[in-house]
Structure 1
């Protein structure tokens, strides 16, 4: 039996990952931002353990007590707010950096003893914006470039402990976040144009399941069209 901790299970890629792992019989631990949200996740994912910490306030993860052994931690939670540097507020900058970079770093630190115990895998769900920054994407892309740096440093630091670190860079994926992005861009949204969340989740699970003789450091997933 393997045990996995997943953030962002409320929707999108995180939801697909959590469901895939739970349905195949693995133990799954989820992170909810509030007690009420935790109850919703428990109802949705029967059998999952749910911990409460608001990733918008990264210090809240320091009180979490994860299981003693974790085969993976999948960081799938994230927020986005588009806008040019000339108008994007400090609040929008800070929120994206807190949720997209600082919270994953803090949660990984809390989970490291359990990851080392299982020689587990950390998966950071990044974005194509973590590779290239386009106009209007400065804050989000900066947060995702920072997440990439976190993964690269962590990989070198934890190799001696047997902890593998992978980054997955999905292109546009049919999630509620993508719908919000289209609204901010003033574009029509058609989920059929983009990658299914399950497709990205399948790639993540394959990374987690990779035999111990190898590691996949980076995976880029792009829409086929």
Structure 2
């Protein structure tokens, strides 16, 4: 039975991935920002275990994990959580920049660092669910795109450093996907939201599982997936 640590399992792509892995009987460790959220995740995913720590405060994750009992081995660490706040470079404050970079880049880096011993023990797999914004930055997407460009760099560096330990590292770059985050983006853009225009979260989940299930002799490093409409 494979052991997966998943951030962002409470909605959108994270929920779709967690559901697929739960259906096949894998062991889930779901990351929650607080105890209340952890309880909600355990109700939604019976049998899953939870780890608690606020990804908005990556400097406290070491302390948080040190007061819990994480798994002894981790077959995959799936970074799916993220935040977005649109605004022009002339509008965004340092607070927005810092919050975006903390949740989308620094927290994944720190969580990966903290779980590296367990990942090495399992010759595991780290998957970063990035974004099309991690490849191209559009107007008003500066902070989010910068965090996602940085996340791609993190994945590339990690892959080069840990390949000798048997780790695989994959970055998935989804286009616009029907999720609560996408609804928020449309509100910020002042546009009407039509979920039929975008990919389903299940489509992205299939992409993630394809990377996880690839034979050990191969590795998907970077994979883009886009809506067909």
What does 1:15-164 correspond to in 2, within 5 Å? Answer: 15-62=15-62, 63-64=64-65, 65-164=69-168
CA-to-aligned-CA distance 1:195-217 (integer Å, 9 cap, x gap): 00010011101111111000000
C-alpha distance in 1, partners of 2:167/2:70?
A: 16
* Deviant stretches of 4+, over 4 Å: none
C-alpha distance in 1, partners of 2:20/2:53?
A: 23
C-alpha distance in 2, partners of 1:152/1:66?
A: 26
Unaligned residue ranges in structure 2 (runs of 5+): none
C-alpha distance in 2, partners of 1:215/1:19?
A: 23
Aligned residues: 225
CA positional deviation for 1:35: 0.6
CA RMSD of aligned residues (A): 0.7
The normalised TM-score by structure 2 is: 0.97
Any conservation in 2 of the 1:124–1:151 contact (CA below 8 Å)? yes
C-alpha distance in 2, partners of 1:68/1:203?
A: 27
CA positional deviation for 1:61: 2.0
CA positional deviation for 1:192: 1.1
CA-to-aligned-CA distance 1:19-47 (integer Å, 9 cap, x gap): 11011100000000011111111111100
C-alpha distance in 1, partners of 2:213/2:53?
A: 27
CA positional deviation for 1:66: 2.3
